[in-house]
Amino acid sequence: MMGSIGGYAGRILHVDLSKRKQHVEGLPEGEARAYIGGSGLAAKRLWDMTGKETDPLGTENVLIFMAGALTGTRVPLSGRHEVVAKSPLTGIYGESDVGGRWGTELKKAGFDGVVITGKSAKHTYLWINESGVEFRDAEHLWGLDTYEASAILRKETDQKAIEACIGPAGERLARIAAIMHDGRDARAAGRCGLGAVMGSKNLKAIVAKGDKEVSVADGKRLSEMTKKLAPDILKSTKRLADYGTSQVVTTLEELGDLPVRNWKQGRWQEGAEKLSGPTMAKSILNGRYFCGACIIGCGRTVAVGHGEYAGVDGAGPEYETMALLGSNVLVDDLEAVAKAHELCNRLGLDVISTGAVIGFALEAAERGMIKGDLNERADLTWGNGRGIVNMVEKIGRREGLGYLLGEGVMRVSAKLGAGSEAFALHVKGLEPPGHDARAYNSLAVGYATGNRGACHLQGMSYAFERSATMPELGINEIQDRFGVVKKGELVAKTQDLMSLFDSIKLCKFLLFGGVKLTSMLEWFNAVTGWEISQAEFLKAGERIYNLKRMYNVRCGITRKDDVVPTRMLREKRGEGGSAENLPPFSEILDDYYRYRDWDQNGIPTKAKLVELGLADMTP
Amino acid sequence: MPFREDAGVTEETYETDQESTTVARVLDLIASRHSSMTKFMDSTSDEAQRHHLVVAVNSRLARLSEEVHDGDSISLLLPVIGGSKE
């Protein structure tokens, strides 16, 4: 067991909702060292506890919340945790990385993670504190939105408690439902439909609060490092602090990265400017939000005082909202986008998948593929802010056409048929975020091989095609975004690196603060007291990525599934910064498999599995 | 647009006495014309520069050493952090 290792609580809470029982599992030190924490430890448990036959919305799926060794410490930007389950949206490995303060409270209550099994006979919430867990009735909360539920939950437990909570979308099993955290501050475990997994278990919320100190092996070393790095982090991320993630809307529009009109259109200059961070700062912005241990504060809080959307009050739109519920549907009304964002937060929807499925529906409606209610069809027009807001509400409440759209792009396209797959953008069922594979060649293979589907955060290779380097990985200079050579290798290396971010639990924005692998590892060693070498650390990242791949291989995933949405592969944007580029996908994918030591069918070789200590993991 | 308020202009033309110059040299020219832009300039390396602003020549991201020719269009872009709250 963990003994005197810093950072970890050394305890994982298991909750069986069917039997209303709990037990605490000691975390073995060897397992923590091999899988690090957060995403890695959760993935290992998902591998052990579920498989190909597991119905993602069945009693047998497990829902895992896992913090990292750094969560709850003073390491900057470490207030994060991971949520993992078999995804009802994709049917494969599902996970979402979340900021906020919930993970910190869980650690302070004395747990590294919570593993939830079974299904409650009645609507329930869990109250986790230093004494363990209480099962509490949630009948009075069922049907409430996450902001309403949060206020009641804090009154019933502790005003300083933090909750992970689903809204009506998760309760009604929308496959694009999120698990929201931190009430009105609204930090989302948005991707992969994990809110529906929680809903399928009749679990409304998990409230956490603790007062224990998270132990740190070498506080002096940690403090010295942080003092050394913090000024550069702050300097390099000043605009992120000033304008939030949507500071880049105009830049990405210029580069040909921003999705416009369901990824069909090349440019949208005036609209992008209306949705940019500086525009928000001059209009509806009323504050900043800092996740646990954050020193940047990129989160936005907004208020709309008058007009059609008066009453919006709380977490404001991020870049992804601007992209998917703004430019992707041609809505340039910032207040409408803020309203749509708030509805996603309240109803518990992933902003990316929600905007993506609406963009898809708009194009389908334009092509005459969507029949039915005239009012709904009127809502489905490009640039119709009110219509988009109405549709978000219908998806979240699963009403009318919203019921179908809540199933996600892949299933809606399958239902519509008629060639709609040509403009149905998803990989393995997960809709891409607001970044275009035509703007960065590496992103095509990143999307194709992302263990949860089309995801920019599992690799973030595109950051190294724009502004970042990582000499420890041999990435000594910024890569040409339209280049081909060694791009597969770049994707694999950065995926392994991001596995480490997701497992020790650090915000990836540290990359833009100039933080390198060496510093990450030094923080980790200072907190844990281990002296892990860079080679061992990187090997752990590779192990975690391959473990998730093996989970997917066991679910039937092979090269045939490692694809890029047709539109990104075959249709040029035609104008703007990526006008003529189409990613040379197969060439980069071959390089990727070769570098990874996966066979031509995309399956890790036996030798690779042995090397990583995963020899017993056969499909 | 980014840097518009710092420089007080949306676009402008630069002339040099050579047929071609470099991105780094253009940034120097911009800084000398607009002192408010100096704080965004760091030509010690491409990465250092891209922490503050990113340069695109004819919409392609450009390194400091890249040549700029007569008629090229240069954009100053924000360092790119396409964020997500997941």
Distances (CA, A) of A605 to A287, A360, A611: 51, 38, 10
Of A252, A256, A352, Cβ closest to residue B80: A252
Residues B12-33 pLDDT 10s:
998 877 878 999 999 999 999 9
Distance CA A343, CA A472 (A): 42
Q: What DSSP designation does A117 have?
A: E
Distances (CA, A) of A196 to A86, A186, A351, B33: 11, 17, 15, 56
User: Does A251 sit within 8 Å of B54, measured CB to CB?
Assistant: yes
Which residue from A356, A387, A357 is spatially nearest to A373, judged by alpha carbons?
A387
- Give the phi and the psi of residue B82 in degrees, each rounded to 5: -80, 95
Residues A336-355 pLDDT 10s:
999 999 999 999 999 999 99
- Distance to chain B for A327, nearest Cα, Å: 14
| Cβ contacts of A48 within 8 Å, gap of 6 or more | none
Q: Give the pair of three-digit tokens for residue A293.
A: 């241990």
What count of CB pairs under 8 Å joins A to B? 116
User: Does A254 sit within 8 Å of B83, measured CB to CB?
Assistant: no
Distance CA A445, CA A437 (A): 8
Do A272 and A195 lie in one domain? The reply is no
Which residues of chain B are within 8 Å of residue A191 when distances are taken between CB atoms?
A: 86
Q: Domain range holding A139? A: 11-208
- Distance to chain A for B73, nearest Cα, Å: 12
Which residue from A195, A208, A205 is spatially nearest to A85, judged by alpha carbons?
A195
Asked if the model's pLDDT at residue A156 lies above 90, the reply is yes
Distance CA A60, CA A82 (A): 20
Mean pLDDT of chain A: 96
Q: Model confidence at A478, in pLDDT bands (50, 70, 90)? A: confident
CB-based contact (8 Å) between B47 and chain A? yes
Do A250 and A109 lie in one domain? The reply is no
Mean pLDDT of all residues in A303-309: 97
Q: Give the pair of three-digit tokens for residue A49.
A: 């506890």
Q: State which residue of chain B sits closest to A468, comparing Cα positions.
A: B47
| Cβ contacts of A611 within 8 Å, gap of 6 or more | none
Whether A197 is covered by a domain: the verdict is yes
Question: For chain B, which ranges sit under pLDDT 70?
Answer: 1-2, 80-86
In angstroms, the first-to-last Cα distance of chain B is 26
Do A368 and A395 lie in one domain? The reply is yes
pLDDT of residue B6: 78
Distance CA A459, CA A449 (A): 9
Do A485 and A380 lie in one domain? The reply is no
User: Does B50 sit within 8 Å of A467, measured CB to CB?
Assistant: yes
Q: Are A483 and A466 in contact (CB under 8 A)?
A: no
Whether A616 is covered by a domain: the verdict is no
Q: Are A424 and A350 in contact (CB under 8 A)?
A: no
Of B1, B5, B86, Cβ closest to residue A250: B1
pLDDT of residue A376: 83
pLDDT of residue A223: 96
Residues A319-339 pLDDT 10s:
999 999 999 999 999 999 999
Asked if the model's pLDDT at residue A374 lies above 80, the reply is no
Render the burial of A32-41: b for 16+ CB within 10 Å, e for the rest: bebbbbbbbb
- Distance to chain A for B15, nearest Cα, Å: 24
Whether A115 is covered by a domain: the verdict is yes
Of B1, B61, B84, Cβ closest to residue A457: B84
Whether A598 is covered by a domain: the verdict is yes
User: Does B60 sit within 8 Å of A577, measured CB to CB?
Assistant: yes
Do A167 and A261 lie in one domain? The reply is no
- Distance to chain B for A147, nearest Cα, Å: 17
Distances (CA, A) of A4 to A285, B50, B58: 45, 42, 57
Mean pLDDT of all residues in A461-476: 91
Looking up residue A388, the CATH number of its domain turns out to be 1.10.569.10
Q: State which residue of chain A sits closest to B54, comparing Cα positions.
A: A467
Q: State which residue of chain A sits closest to B52, comparing Cα positions.
A: A236
Q: Are A576 and B59 in contact (CB under 8 A)?
A: yes
H helix intervals, A201-292: 219-236, 238-243, 249-255, 269-274, 277-282
Residues A286-295 pLDDT 10s:
999 999 999 9
Q: State which residue of chain B sits closest to A323, comparing Cα positions.
A: B82
Of B79, B81, B86, Cβ closest to residue A97: B86
pLDDT of residue A235: 84
- Distance to chain B for A262, nearest Cα, Å: 18
Whether A120 is covered by a domain: the verdict is yes
- Tell me the CB-side half-sphere exposure of residue B44, using CA atoms within 13 A: 5
Whether A226 is covered by a domain: the verdict is no
Residues A12-58 pLDDT 10s:
999 999 999 999 999 999 999 999 999 999 999 999 999 999 999 99
Residues A46-58 pLDDT 10s:
999 999 999 999 9
Which residues of chain A are within 8 Å of residue B60 when distances are taken between CB atoms?
A: 482, 577
pLDDT of residue B9: 83
Q: Are A36 and A504 in contact (CB under 8 A)?
A: yes
User: Does B51 sit within 8 Å of A456, measured CB to CB?
Assistant: no
Do A55 and A204 lie in one domain? The reply is yes
Q: State which residue of chain B sits closest to A345, comparing Cα positions.
A: B85
Q: Tell which of A394, A423, A452 closes a domain.
A: A423
Q: Model confidence at A117, in pLDDT bands (50, 70, 90)? A: very high
Whether A6 is covered by a domain: the verdict is no
Place of tokens 């995403």: A39
Place of tokens 């099962």: A135
Mean pLDDT of all residues in A445-460: 96
Do A202 and A256 lie in one domain? The reply is no
pLDDT of residue B19: 79
Residues A185-242 pLDDT 10s:
999 999 999 999 999 999 999 999 999 999 999 999 999 999 999 998 988 888 889 9
Complete domains list, chain B, with CATH: 4-77 (3.10.20.30)
pLDDT of residue B80: 60
Phi/psi-derived region of residue A459, left when phi > 0, alpha when psi is between -120 and 50, beta in every other case: alpha
Q: State which residue of chain A sits closest to B73, comparing Cα positions.
A: A577
Q: Are A112 and A39 in contact (CB under 8 A)?
A: no
Do A386 and A516 lie in one domain? The reply is no
Do A189 and A306 lie in one domain? The reply is no
Give the residue from A83, A98, A243, A248 with the most B CB atoms within 10 Å of its CB, the best one to mutate. A248
Asked if the model's pLDDT at residue A412 lies above 80, the reply is yes
User: Does B59 sit within 8 Å of A576, measured CB to CB?
Assistant: yes
Region of poorest pLDDT, from A142-146, A187-191, A507-511 = A507-511
Looking up residue A156, the CATH number of its domain turns out to be 3.60.9.10
pLDDT of residue A141: 98
Which residues of chain A are within 8 Å of residue B79 when distances are taken between CB atoms?
A: 236, 239, 467, 512
Do A337 and A414 lie in one domain? The reply is yes
Mean pLDDT of all residues in A135-148: 98
Q: Are A188 and A426 in contact (CB under 8 A)?
A: no
Looking up residue A542, the CATH number of its domain turns out to be 1.10.599.10
Which residues of chain A are within 8 Å of residue B63 when distances are taken between CB atoms?
A: 478
pLDDT greater at residue A539 or residue A465: A539
Do A262 and A398 lie in one domain? The reply is yes
Helices and strands counted in chain A (H then E)? 25, 15
Of A99, A469, A512, Cβ closest to residue B81: A512
Quote the number of domains for chain A: 3
Residues 59-78 in B contacting A (C-alpha not used; CB under 8 Å): 59-61, 63, 75, 77-78
CA of residue B6 relative to chain centroid, distance: 13
Whether A433 is covered by a domain: the verdict is no
Do A372 and A265 lie in one domain? The reply is yes
CA of residue A134 relative to chain centroid, distance: 28
Mean pLDDT of all residues in A383-389: 97
Distance CA A537, CA A33 (A): 9
Provide, for chain B, the percentages of residues in helix, strand and coil under a 3-state DSSP scheme, each rounded to the nearest 5. Answer: 30, 20, 50
